[in-house]
Structure 1
Amino acid sequence: MPNERLRDAMHRNQLTTADLAATAGVDPKTVERWITQDRIPYPRHRHAIATQLGETQSHLWPEALSSTRAAEVAQSELVQIYPRRAAVPVELWQRLLTTPTQQVSILVYAGLFLPEQHPRLISILRERVEAGAKVRILLGDPDSPEVAQRGAEEGIGNAISAKIRNVLTWYDKLREVDGVSLGLHSTTLYNSIYQFDDEMLVNPHVFGFPAAHSPTLHLRRLGSGDLFNLYADSFDRIWSMAKPAWPQREAH
């Protein structure tokens, strides 16, 4: 049975069998067998190819990793767990914010702590765009029932909506910056997600408690792992359903 996932990934990246053969250091006929006969490459070849194609090994070759090995890889993607978001070192936030060259993706309801803890946040994001990064920010729609429900669950009334409107004034300074996009979502937010290239902080939400008091996972992407991509895919799904916060710019 042909490996259609591998074939599709090659097509999307405009790569030939000769290109993959050069990457893996094998004969092009070997690559053909990987595609047409669904042969599974050696681990060192899987890693090199998955990296070149921007895919995970488990997506391209689902049968390559046992469930035990997949669990071990997921554990390896977990760098650190903090008992609450407020315990994440400011130095770590600073490093993650100031180093990306590919993407910064932020999913929150308000995330007011970011501009409060990092007064240079707007300048930092401008610098990241100048370095080639794409910045995507998702805030909760302040008028949505989901945001109102979260406020009720935390016992703070309309405070979250007010925080979102406050944060919107901060990010409005980036309205005319090409490479920065801001969306408003109306989802039940299970996790806040902060992605910086191949590192990520995930802040799971706990009923009745503010996000700052909930645990936070520090993840680093591995080519053979799925945990990092699980949250990255979740961000993309919410992004696809969000409405632009700056509709006039989107219309240009």
Structure 2
Amino acid sequence: MPNDRLRNGMLKNGLTASALAEKLGVDPKTVERWVTQTRNPYPRYRHTIAELLNESESYLWPDALPTQRAVQISQSELVHIYPRRGAVPTDLWQRLLEHATRQVGVLVYGGLFLPEFNHRWIATLREKALAGAQVELLFGDPDGEHIAERGDAEGIGPAMSNKILNALAFYKDLRDLDNVGIYYHDTILYNSIYRFDDEMLVNTHLYGTPAAYAPVLHLRRLGGGDLFDSYVASFNRVLGKKRAVWPEH
């Protein structure tokens, strides 16, 4: 039985069997067997393929691991849980950013605390983009209905929109960089997501509670786990509804 999920993922990313084989250092016929037959790659190949296709291993090969084992791996992806955002070590945000080389993603309503309290945040984002990392920043639309709802829920009303505009003032100098995308979204955020390659901080949201007082999960992607990738999928769904903050850039 062919693996249609793997086939579609390769097509979506413009990868032929030969191209994928070259990236993995295997014979093209091996890749063809993974696609056309019920052959699962070795774990080291599954992890790399999932990363290349931006899909989870559990999606591409749902039968590769017993359910209980997949659950255990996903649990191991949780590095630490902090009771509130303020309990996250101050240097952890910068350290995760500095270690990222491929991808940085931020999904927030405002996230003003990052550039406001870390004077190296914007400069490091610039360095990462110039070095080839893809930087994607998603902010709540100040005129969107969900921002108004969030402001009312937190008891700050229109101040929520002002916080977003204040945050964007820090990022305006990044708007001309090729590898930086700065966007608005108008979606309900159940979590704020901060991704740094294969590590992530997820700030959960609690109704009526500012994000600063809600728990934060520190996740690290593991081959065969799907907790990290579930949040990546959520980030990508919001990214699909993006609107450029500065369209001319």
TM-score by length of 2: 0.89
* Whole-angstrom distance in 2 between the partners of 1:180 and 1:6: 29
Change (3 A) 1:28 1:106: closer
Q: How does 1:17-166 map to 2 (within 5 A)?
A: 20=21, 23=24, 31-43=31-43, 46-47=46-47, 49-50=49-50, 55-166=55-166
Change (3 A) 1:156 1:174: same
Gap runs ≥5 in structure 1: none
Larger gyration radius, structure 1 or structure 2: 1
Q: How many residues are matched?
A: 248
Pairwise CA distance, 1:134: 1.2
Q: Does the Cα contact within 8 Å between 1:20 and 1:49 map onto a contact in 2?
A: no
Q: Does the Cα contact within 8 Å between 1:24 and 1:45 map onto a contact in 2?
A: no
- Counterpart of 2:105, as a letter, is S
Q: Does the Cα contact within 8 Å between 1:77 and 1:227 map onto a contact in 2?
A: yes
**C-alpha distance after superposition, 1:106-137 (max 9, x if no partner):** 01111110011211222111111122111111
Gap runs ≥5 in structure 2: none
Matched with 1:218 is 218
SS state at 2:218 partner: strand
Q: Does the Cα contact within 8 Å between 1:112 and 1:163 map onto a contact in 2?
A: yes
* Whole-angstrom distance in 1 between the partners of 2:22 and 2:169: 51
* Whole-angstrom distance in 1 between the partners of 2:189 and 2:173: 26
**C-alpha distance after superposition, 1:8-31 (max 9, x if no partner):** 344535343696499476x76555
Moved over 6 A (4+): none
SS state at 2:240 partner: helix
* Whole-angstrom distance in 1 between the partners of 2:5 and 2:215: 35
Change (3 A) 1:113 1:47: closer
Change (3 A) 1:165 1:65: same
TM-score by length of 1: 0.88
- Counterpart of 1:74, as a letter, is S
SS state at 1:230 partner: helix
Q: Does the Cα contact within 8 Å between 2:141 and 2:184 map onto a contact in 1?
A: yes
1:16 and 2:17 are equivalent in the alignment: yes
SS state at 1:38 partner: coil
